[in-house]
Amino acid sequence: NNLMSYAVNEDKSNVNDTVSRENSNLEMGPKYKKKKKNLIQPYSIQPLENGVELGKEALDDLEQLKNIEYLEKITDEKYEVALAHENGDYTYLSSAKTIEEAKKIVNSKSNQKNIENNIIPVIIDEDGLVVYAAEGIAKIVKIKDGQSITATIDIYKSATTSSRYTYISHAYIDDAPIIAESGNRVKVQVNGLTGWIDKSDSEGTNVVVVPINQAVNLSYYKKTSNGTLQHYISSDVKKANSGHFRSVGVAPSFMEVEKKYYSYDGIYFYTNINTLISDLKNNTNNNAVNKSNPYYNYYLYLPGRSKTAFYAKEIDNYIENNTPSDSKLRGQGTYLVAAQNKYGVNANFILGVAMNESAKGT
């Protein structure tokens, strides 16, 4: 009752000033205070993963974990329902003993009017992290006991599968659209693979949910003026201009130069992230910009059973220019081409896998 009284009397200047109670059916309670836990970053001292040097993109992604915000809870209940505002603020709405109870409150407060006004109901757990949002993006992390740890995150084929299908590394991906939730698992799409991951497991927290109205730095694609397709890979979805560009081939003709296109499969593209998530939830691509013209990147879909256009000497020159002096791969061009001709697997493909799995032959 005291909190409801607070909600009625609180100065509106403490919440998102672009939204008023006149255009929303949600009462706004006290604003949450934020804190950071300054997660220990072992990589800042020794940037190695199992003895393998991590790339700049991975190091930056791990560094951004320092920016994760924890909210200071207002009640003693295990869960709290809050309102996420476009400017990054959160205001208290209600509390709940269980996640199921909290979700019922969120779902009862979620409607098109609220989302259009950029107010998104969310659930905050006992640690002060957002674990559920009416509309949200999964921020992939790996946090245990206040430390960013080196560990992979398992992906499962279903919400109930016990054996993993494959895995991802939290150091190389920050954002993934949330398609569905079931218990401790969320259904996401990562580079064209749709599967389920645990929000947390014995190795720590895997997913922090970012309300879509606060996700200001999502990964995207763009076409450059010279026709190249670039993939911008975010290091922190809540921090603008935090990420890296990778050129991935020739851009499709339907793209406009320098325009942002969202895609998490690299095949269907959207200019609106909410539309993309809605299509994924409905298991369709009907609202994609290129719904009748799927794009298949040449380098991703070139069969492994093809032949390189390079000679052994050219491959040797590439290896020499892109590996340490003690690399075991140096001088192997002739053998790579011989293996290709004998077994039918592209020599460059063999080399690419070998460089990735052996730390460039070291």
Q: What does 39-108 look like in DSSP terms, one character per residue?
A: -B-GGGT--EETTEEPPHHHHHHHHGGGG--EE--SSSSSEEEEEEETTS-EEEEEEESSHHHHHHHHHH
Residue 10 above 70 pLDDT? no
What pLDDT score does 275 carry?
A: 95
What pLDDT score does 19 carry?
A: 37
pLDDT band at 87 (very low <50, low <70, confident <90, very high): very high
Q: Name the pTM for this structure.
A: 0.83
Structure tokens that stand for 333 in this block: 């061009």
pLDDT band at 21 (very low <50, low <70, confident <90, very high): very low
Could you give the CA distance from residue 212 to residue 339 in angstroms, rounded to a whole number? 49
What pLDDT score does 24 carry?
A: 52
**pLDDT winner (highest mean) among 16-25, 32-41, 253-262:** 253-262
What pLDDT score does 25 carry?
A: 56
Per-residue pLDDT of 39-58, as tens digits, reads: 555 444 344 444 456 677 77
Average pLDDT over residues 94-103: 94
- HSE-up of residue 171 (Cα within 13 Å, Cβ side): 21
Residue 225 above 70 pLDDT? yes
Neighbours of 297 (CB within 10 A): 16
pLDDT band at 352 (very low <50, low <70, confident <90, very high): very high
Mean pLDDT check: name the lowest of 12-16, 39-43, 349-353: 12-16
| Beta carbons of 87 and 117 less than 8 angstroms apart | no
| Beta carbons of 189 and 179 less than 8 angstroms apart | yes
pLDDT band at 356 (very low <50, low <70, confident <90, very high): confident
